[in-house]
Amino acid sequence: MKRVFIYVRVSTEEQAIHGLSIEAQTAALTGWAKEHECVVVGIYTDAGISARKPARNRPELQRLLRDVEEGKGELIIFTKLDRWFRNISEYYKVQEILEKHHVDWKTIQEDYDTTTASGRLKVNIMLSVAQDEADRTGERIKFVHQDKVLRGEVISGKVPFGYKIENKKMTIDPETAPIAQDIFKQYTIIRSINALRKYILEKYGRAYAHTSLRMLLTNERYIGHAHGQDDFCPALIDPEQFRLCQDLIKERGQRNLTRSDRVYLFTGLVRCAECGNKLCAHVIHNKYIYYRCTRNDKLHLCPHKKRTNERNIEKWLLENLVSSYEEYNLSLQRQAKESRQKIDTEKIKRKIEKLRDLYLNDLIDRDSYEKDYIYFRDELRKADSHEEKRLKPVDVSGLSDVLTVYSLLSRSEQKELWNRLVGHILITNNDEFFVYPVSHK
Ligand SMILES: [Zn+2]
């Protein structure tokens, strides 16, 4: 009994063509082997692989050739020659191996005879025809593709999340579209793909890999763009929001390169309430991060002895940031009211005029005029500068929303968030905290 190898190959484009599927080829070949009383020693299937691909890039063909070299069989069968090769030089490279090990090949749906000169010529001709055909098939597939693009039809069956296919066209899916929109919106707030993944998983039960979520956020189809067309499909995301997401992704990608492993959340933000010095981060037992005043060393330049655990600062901020800022805003309002009462610039101006009258009418001497004038002038300047550096209230709307996703962020993202939200934090020797916004100098 002859021992046969069955070789099956199909390219991605060919899968759908009748009779070329893996199943169809395998069924025909095993049927033939049975009919001719052959023993099948192995079925080798290269799926999704074009015949133009060199033999070395076809894993199953490689396995087949190894088995040929080990003498496991005498005959290779495939349905048609173009399953085997569509390239003359590749064909001869492999043919050399087969001849060395006395292995023949046979097509079950075509008739070739490689033992005669005319038979070998036929193989040559068929291979060059097949090669030509492959070139044209490539062209044809491209052509069909182009045509579909122009009609706005879906090329592959996959559409971005939030869309569905209706009459071969991409349309907005009312069920999933709001989720897709929320994903984009949340990214502009959270600004971290990892945290966004957790958010989506928790809120919608959808698990995304980091790269696929990144791909979703950069998919231009969400603004209607595809295949060089501006209106390939209906837009789901506002173009401005989409651009912002692209900028953020790019910016973060660059930042990641310089990110250091150990992150101290509050370096530069925490200050000693006793001396005003910035507190320094220290690591204890390779685990706990503390902040302390470096002026409290052997010289005791500062009485601030307290070492403050980073976790305490973090916890306090999460619980008190919003209320602290609300209080801060109230105090600004009070101050503004008080300063208006205290310093009335018009009143000062009137006093200066009166003073000048007194002097001009010789009712006061020059010395007292100058003394008083300088006093009023300084008052006036103070009032003006107060007006100038009038502190702005903090926008606390949305602040608590941002803090609810805090635990989802990585440490460096958390650090970045504190830098955006906090100007500085005063810490007293009694471990009391006072937080000031970025706008407060
Ligand atoms: Zn200090």
Distance of CA 428 from the midpoint of ligand 1 (Å): 9
Distance of CA 276 from the midpoint of ligand 1 (Å): 6
Neighbour count for residue 271 (Cβ, 10 Å)? 19
Distance of CA 266 from the midpoint of ligand 1 (Å): 16
The amino acid sitting at 109 is Q
Please give all residues whose CB falls under 5 A of ion ligand 1, grouped by chain where several chains appear: 272, 274-275, 277, 293, 295, 302, 304
**434/330 Cα distance (integer angstroms):** 15
**345/383 Cα distance (integer angstroms):** 7
- Closest to 188 (Cα-Cα) out of 225, 147, 238, 149: 238
The alpha carbon of residue 267 and the mean position of all alpha carbons in its chain are separated, in whole angstroms, by 27
What are φ and ψ of residue 432, in 5° steps? -100, 145
For 281-312, the DSSP string reads EEEETTTEEEEE-TTSSTT--S-----EEHHH
Distance of CA 297 from the midpoint of ligand 1 (Å): 10
**163/403 Cα distance (integer angstroms):** 31
Distance of CA 390 from the midpoint of ligand 1 (Å): 29
**90/162 Cα distance (integer angstroms):** 46
CA torsion through residues 22, 24, 28, 34, sign: positive
Per-residue tokens: 175: 């069920």
Distance of CA 301 from the midpoint of ligand 1 (Å): 8
**35/359 Cα distance (integer angstroms):** 130
Half-sphere exposure in the Cβ direction for 331 (13 Å, CA): 10
Q: Do 156 and 13 touch, CB atoms closer than 8 A?
A: no
Distance of CA 302 from the midpoint of ligand 1 (Å): 5
In 61-119, beta strands by DSSP E: 75-78, 104-107
Give the CA angle between residues 392, 394, 400 to the nearest 5°: 175
**44/346 Cα distance (integer angstroms):** 97
Distance of CA 189 from the midpoint of ligand 1 (Å): 36
Q: Domains along the chain?
A: 3-147 (3.40.50.1390), 170-256 (3.90.1750.20), 311-342+391-436 (no CATH)
Distance of CA 292 from the midpoint of ligand 1 (Å): 8
The alpha carbon of residue 173 and the mean position of all alpha carbons in its chain are separated, in whole angstroms, by 23
Neighbour count for residue 183 (Cβ, 10 Å)? 24
Strand order from edge to edge, sheet including 280-284: 280-284, 288-292, 308-309
Distance of CA 378 from the midpoint of ligand 1 (Å): 34
CA torsion through residues 217, 223, 227, 233, sign: positive
The amino acid sitting at 174 is P
Distance of CA 16 from the midpoint of ligand 1 (Å): 76
Task: List per-residue pLDDT tens for the chain, 441 residues long.
Answer: 889 999 999 887 676 666 678 888 899 999 999 999 999 999 999 988 877 778 888 999 999 999 999 999 999 999 988 888 877 788 888 999 999 999 999 998 888 877 676 677 777 777 776 666 665 555 555 555 555 555 555 555 578 899 988 877 788 999 999 999 999 998 988 888 888 888 888 888 888 888 789 889 999 989 988 777 777 788 999 999 999 999 888 877 655 444 445 788 999 999 999 888 899 998 887 778 999 998 887 777 888 999 999 999 999 999 999 999 999 999 888 877 776 666 677 788 888 888 888 888 777 788 888 888 888 888 877 776 666 566 788 888 778 777 777 887 778 888 888 888 899 999 999 999 999 998 876
Distance of CA 322 from the midpoint of ligand 1 (Å): 27
Distance of CA 318 from the midpoint of ligand 1 (Å): 25
Distance of CA 401 from the midpoint of ligand 1 (Å): 34
Q: Do 2 and 74 touch, CB atoms closer than 8 A?
A: yes
Distance of CA 293 from the midpoint of ligand 1 (Å): 5
**81/52 Cα distance (integer angstroms):** 13
pTM: 0.39
Question: Rounded to whole angstroms, what are the CA distances from 280 to 170, 266, 283, 399, 427?
Answer: 56, 9, 10, 27, 12
Distance of CA 424 from the midpoint of ligand 1 (Å): 15
Q: What is the pLDDT of residue 74?
A: 93
The alpha carbon of residue 99 and the mean position of all alpha carbons in its chain are separated, in whole angstroms, by 53
The amino acid sitting at 267 is T
Distance of CA 425 from the midpoint of ligand 1 (Å): 13
DSSP state of 214: H
Question: Rounded to whole angstroms, what are the CA distances from 387 to 53, 88, 348, 423?
Answer: 76, 87, 15, 21
Distance of CA 299 from the midpoint of ligand 1 (Å): 12
**144/265 Cα distance (integer angstroms):** 56
**244/212 Cα distance (integer angstroms):** 19
What 3-state class would DSSP assign to 92? helix
- Could you tell me whether strands 75-78 and 104-107 are parallel, antiparallel, or unpaired per DSSP bridges? parallel
Distance of CA 273 from the midpoint of ligand 1 (Å): 7
**319/312 Cα distance (integer angstroms):** 11
- Could you tell me whether strands 280-284 and 288-292 are parallel, antiparallel, or unpaired per DSSP bridges? antiparallel
Q: Which residues contact 143 (CB under 8 A, 6 or more apart)?
A: none
Q: What is the pLDDT of residue 132?
A: 62
